[in-house]
Chains A and B, each alone.
Chain A
Amino acid sequence: MRIRGMRTRGLRVRGRPVRAVRGWRATVGVLLTGALLTGLTGCGPDVKAVTDLGAVGGQRVDGGTATMALPPAAAPNWIFPIAPAGYGATYNSSIQDLLYPRLVTPEPGKNGELTMDSPRNLAGKIRYGDGNRSVTVTLKRGYRWSDGKPVTARDVAFWFELVRANKKEWGSYTAKLMPDNIKRFQVLDSRRFRLRLDRAYNPVWFTSNQLNFMKPLPRHAWNPEDEGPKKAFARLSQHAKQLSKFDSDPLWKTVAGPWRVEKWSPSGRVSLVPNKRYGGPDKPHLDRVVFKPFTTAGSEFNVLRAGGVDYGYIPPSVMAQSRHFKKTGYRVDPWESWGITYLVPNLNHPVNGPLFRQRYLRRALQSLIDQKAIAKYVWHGAAKPTLGPVPSALMGRDATPYDPARARRLLASHGWRKDGGTLRCTRPGTGAGRCGKGVRDGQKLHLELLSQSGSTETSNTMQAIKSSFSRAGVALDIRQQPLNTVLGTTVPCKRKEPVCKQWQLGFFGTGGSWIFPADPSGERLFSTGAPSNMGNWSDPRTDELIKRTEYSDDPSALRDYARHLASEVPVLWTPNPAYQVSVIRNDLRGVQQNPTLTFAPQDWYYVKKRGKGGTAGQGGGAK
């Protein structure tokens, strides 16, 4: 599972592991129960009728149960929407959003871009004033809590008070951003509130990357005694640690979203049923949605093949077998993420840092990475080339396409000559035709890559890159380590620090190196001294362009930033893998795979099978 807006860390947020709540007995129990029920009811897709359906169209039939497979070893374990570090994985936040919806939700637009004006937004009008120093939000009419009380601006203020008083406990907290950048929260009336900001911000950026955190919480149910925010937060957090009571604790019964919790087992199986008092336009069509945990991808795959889940996934290596699933009534659809993937060069490495600081050399190395072929043959189509510092849907063209001849020319024209199969600098110094500042006479173009282990596709990608580098005379040693080791080593550093000697190139992008929030600005990635600027990139022009994306409402700001960094190549772009290769029952429709990795089962519905009176949904409902 990815963490939005963060360097992906598997089940980690801000450096702490998610508390995995699972036990083999429970998991086996879940699987056996599922298998037994499947066997008893004789369900599983009616293959012929479902296969005949195709992937679109069909007559909607309300009702039924849809079962979605959770990622391997992912067990939802946090229900309180203000999650501490380590509990912010997307499977937690996505389920929380179904119970406690956000003010604004990013949705994919027609051209692959993300929009923030989804009909399911709780916020109606969002008006910026005072030179973009204040923002007034009006909540939509008709939203009620499940106990009948209306959703009000005071409920949003309750979220803000809790976050402001406990920001260090909030996993999504970044200094100087939310809630630090809000000077005052004014409740204007029951549906309107105003935020006074600490300076002028780009409204698009602020709505996408700051306002999207906000959500109303039921003040009347969660803080009836009107305790102080610190005390209230401590009490709510205490309740949130009692995983076995998520489905029975009265606290979590008051929801505003389209779903409410029916069952939440400590092993991670979560079953939601519709909230009958939900006031939004996207009311659920299904009777129930079940999120099913799996300890490994292999076990999920076996259950999927047996028809035990309606919405699962397959490893990219099995893409060649997608025909099998299509024949048995499923569609295969890679779930692309709103992210980018790259190899990070350590610009402060004492030996090879001076090499990486040469723009021509970074461009030459980039020209040796055949992203299209790697995406096609290594990822079996479940990845797309990364073209720059923003998702490729927003990039027009590849500024540094695969061109080994150009790479060789670039290197040769700067004084690199082959010696024993590896290039050596023969013209040190600065100026035209020279190796560049800091590169020693006779220095070998011999690099070391620290890459995450555990993925065949990643290992093969690195081998393909090594091979391509080797043909051009660039030696590359690959050292594979578990993800946490790579993340712990590839940190921003200064040249004389011991950790800076430990890595030259780093890769931690098996699931994408970086997943953006809605607005793909680079303040946390490429600005000087940014917390996730692992390669120590520092460029005044980049900083200036990033500030523009953050503060200015000029729509060209993001484009200029993207173009500049695409040509500067601060990191080596590599194919961005799909979040997962989804396999979805043909008669389950309305599934939109949001690139920010949230899901909206309220949009899902079954369609009538062809040539039969029944519906696929009825079959699914028996599971």
Chain B
Amino acid sequence: MTAEALEGLTATPSLARRTLAVFTRNKLALTGAAVLVLLLGFCFLGPLVYDTDQVHTDIAQASLSPGTEGHPLGTTDLGYDMLGRLMHGGQTSLEVGLAAGLLATLFGTVYGAVAGYFGGWVDAVLMRITDAALAIPALFLLVVVAAIITPSKPVLILIIASVAWLSPARLIRGEALALRSRDYVHAMRLMGGGGGRAVFRHIVPNAIGTVIVNATFQIADAILYVAYLSFLGLSIPPPAADWGSMLSAGITYTQVGYWWLIFPPGLAIVLVVAAFNFIGDGLRDAFDVRLQRN
């Protein structure tokens, strides 16, 4: 190897730098990230500067239109300040969506990696379970479970994660099937490494790009699931709120033109889901080796 060639190799930026470089070239992904940061700030820091009572109703102040003194975004049909409620509801939607998305990704990744790495009857059994579960419409399952159990934040996270892990499981199982025949996995086995080490130290870390990209989509889907369930009346009981239940309550007043009960939560759901999807697209490109070379 020549000195020039060695110099060229040492000058090659690290994987993280190359990934970041590709990601930052994607304007939609950057916009998504910016929107997400803004929404997180709005929901979690907003109440610190704009404090409202989101526990007690004030029905004499119900359905005030935006611009009313003290209520820049108006009030709900129970007199809650709409702007404050949007922050309050966003916390639930984001917390449940993020937690459920991450939990589903985590479980699905391990499940898929185990199935893919071990293969044989383990793979057959695990993947038939996945296929069977995938055959049942997720929304149907969610509605049934949520109707039986009174939803709370942890319960909602578990319910949503319980149907969302299937997709990452299948995806990572495919990756694991390819990775298990790599030389470094064989070498580890020859040196006496066990299955657990293979899965957690070699398979999963090498599929991390796929995992991360999938996680962003899982979070977006989980936020939508929260909205679906809340829209169907299976949300966390009041006075807690989330964007889906706010939207559902607002729809009741479509005919009377209370637009401020519908557009803000609807827009927030669209924005956060789109943001996660753009980020996911950006990360997928960023982890793509061919794009990094370019």
Interface residues of A in 457-502 (CB under 8 A from B): 459-460, 463-464, 466-467, 470-471, 477-482
Are A373 and B249 neighbours in the complex by a CB distance under 8 Å? Answer: no
Say whether chain A's binding surface is mostly helix, strand, loop, or mixed: helix
Question: Which residues of B lie under 8 Å from residue A453 when comparing CB positions?
Answer: 233
**Which of A320, A378, A479 contacts B237, CB < 8 Å?**
A479
Nearest neighbor of A481 in chain B, beta-carbon distance: B147
Q: How long is the Cα–Cα vector from A456 to B62 in the complex, in angstroms?
A: 14
Interface residues of B in 29-70 (CB under 8 A from A): 55-57, 59-60, 62-63
**B253 close to chain A: CB less than 8 A:** yes
Are B239 and A318 neighbours in the complex by a CB distance under 8 Å? Answer: no
Q: A320-B256, A453-B233 are in contact. Are A460 and B77 (CB under 8 A)?
A: yes
Are A463 and B239 neighbours in the complex by a CB distance under 8 Å? Answer: yes
Q: Would you give the shortest CB distance from A17 to chain B, in whole angstroms?
A: 18
Give the interface of B toward A (CB within 8 A): 55-57, 59-60, 62-63, 77-79, 147, 150, 233, 237-239, 249, 252-253, 255-257
Q: Would you give the shortest CB distance from A148 to chain B, in whole angstroms?
A: 51
Are B60 and A301 neighbours in the complex by a CB distance under 8 Å? Answer: no
Are B237 and A373 neighbours in the complex by a CB distance under 8 Å? Answer: no
Say whether chain B's binding surface is mostly helix, strand, loop, or mixed: loop
Are B78 and A301 neighbours in the complex by a CB distance under 8 Å? Answer: no
**A111 close to chain B: CB less than 8 A:** no
Are B59 and A321 neighbours in the complex by a CB distance under 8 Å? Answer: no
Q: Would you give the shortest CB distance from B147 to chain A, in whole angstroms?
A: 8
Q: How long is the Cα–Cα vector from A470 to B238 in the complex, in angstroms?
A: 13
Question: Which residues of A lie under 8 Å from residue B78 when comparing CB positions?
Answer: 378, 460, 463-464
Are A374 and B237 neighbours in the complex by a CB distance under 8 Å? Answer: no
Q: How long is the Cα–Cα vector from A318 to B77 in the complex, in angstroms?
A: 12
Q: A318-B256, A377-B59, A377-B62 are in contact. Are A466 and B238 (CB under 8 A)?
A: yes
Question: Which residues of B lie under 8 Å from residue A318 when comparing CB positions?
Answer: 255-256
Are A456 and B252 neighbours in the complex by a CB distance under 8 Å? Answer: yes
Which 9 residue pairs are nearest across A and B when measured between Cβ atoms? Answer: A467-B57, A377-B59, A467-B56, A320-B256, A456-B252, A321-B256, A317-B252, A318-B255, A377-B62
Question: Which residues of A lie under 8 Å from residue B237 when comparing CB positions?
Answer: 477-480
Question: Which residues of B lie under 8 Å from residue A460 when comparing CB positions?
Answer: 57, 59, 77-78
- What 20 new A-B contacts, CB under 8 Å, besides A467-B56, A480-B233? A317-B253, A317-B255, A317-B256, A318-B255, A321-B255, A321-B256, A321-B257, A374-B59, A377-B59, A377-B60, A378-B62, A378-B77, A378-B78, A456-B77, A456-B252, A460-B77, A463-B78, A463-B239, A470-B55, A479-B237
Question: Which residues of B lie under 8 Å from residue A482 when comparing CB positions?
Answer: 147
Q: How long is the Cα–Cα vector from A482 to B233 in the complex, in angstroms?
A: 10
Question: Which residues of A lie under 8 Å from residue B256 when comparing CB positions?
Answer: 317-318, 320-321
Q: How long is the Cα–Cα vector from A91 to B55 in the complex, in angstroms?
A: 41
Q: How long is the Cα–Cα vector from A247 to B63 in the complex, in angstroms?
A: 49
Q: How long is the Cα–Cα vector from A480 to B232 in the complex, in angstroms?
A: 12
Q: How long is the Cα–Cα vector from A378 to B78 in the complex, in angstroms?
A: 8
Residue of B63, B147, B238 with most partner-chain A CB within 10 A: B238
Q: Would you give the shortest CB distance from A348 to chain B, in whole angstroms?
A: 23
* Chain A interface size range: 20 to 34
Nearest neighbor of A319 in chain B, beta-carbon distance: B256
**A454 close to chain B: CB less than 8 A:** yes
11 A-B residue pairings within 8 Å (CB atoms): A315-B252, A318-B255, A320-B256, A460-B59, A460-B77, A464-B78, A467-B55, A467-B56, A480-B233, A480-B237, A482-B147
Are B59 and A479 neighbours in the complex by a CB distance under 8 Å? Answer: no
Residue of B55, B79, B255, B257 with most partner-chain A CB within 10 A: B255
Q: Would you give the shortest CB distance from A370 to chain B, in whole angstroms?
A: 8
Q: How long is the Cα–Cα vector from A478 to B57 in the complex, in angstroms?
A: 15
Are B56 and A378 neighbours in the complex by a CB distance under 8 Å? Answer: no
Question: Which residues of B lie under 8 Å from residue A463 when comparing CB positions?
Answer: 57, 78, 238-239
Question: Which residues of A lie under 8 Å from residue B249 when comparing CB positions?
Answer: 456
**Which of A471, A478, A481 contacts B238, CB < 8 Å?**
A478
Question: Which residues of B lie under 8 Å from residue A320 when comparing CB positions?
Answer: 63, 256
Q: A456-B77, A456-B249, A460-B78 are in contact. Are A467 and B255 (CB under 8 A)?
A: no
Question: Which residues of B lie under 8 Å from residue A466 when comparing CB positions?
Answer: 238-239
Question: Which residues of A lie under 8 Å from residue B238 when comparing CB positions?
Answer: 459, 463, 466, 478
Are A464 and B57 neighbours in the complex by a CB distance under 8 Å? Answer: yes
Q: How long is the Cα–Cα vector from A464 to B252 in the complex, in angstroms?
A: 18
Q: How long is the Cα–Cα vector from A471 to B56 in the complex, in angstroms?
A: 8
Q: Would you give the shortest CB distance from A113 to chain B, in whole angstroms?
A: 31
Q: How long is the Cα–Cα vector from A317 to B251 in the complex, in angstroms?
A: 10
Q: Would you give the shortest CB distance from A375 to chain B, in whole angstroms?
A: 10
Interface residues of A in 371-413 (CB under 8 A from B): 373-374, 377-378
Question: Which residues of B lie under 8 Å from residue A373 when comparing CB positions?
Answer: 59-60
Are A470 and B56 neighbours in the complex by a CB distance under 8 Å? Answer: yes
Question: Which residues of A lie under 8 Å from residue B150 when comparing CB positions?
Answer: 479
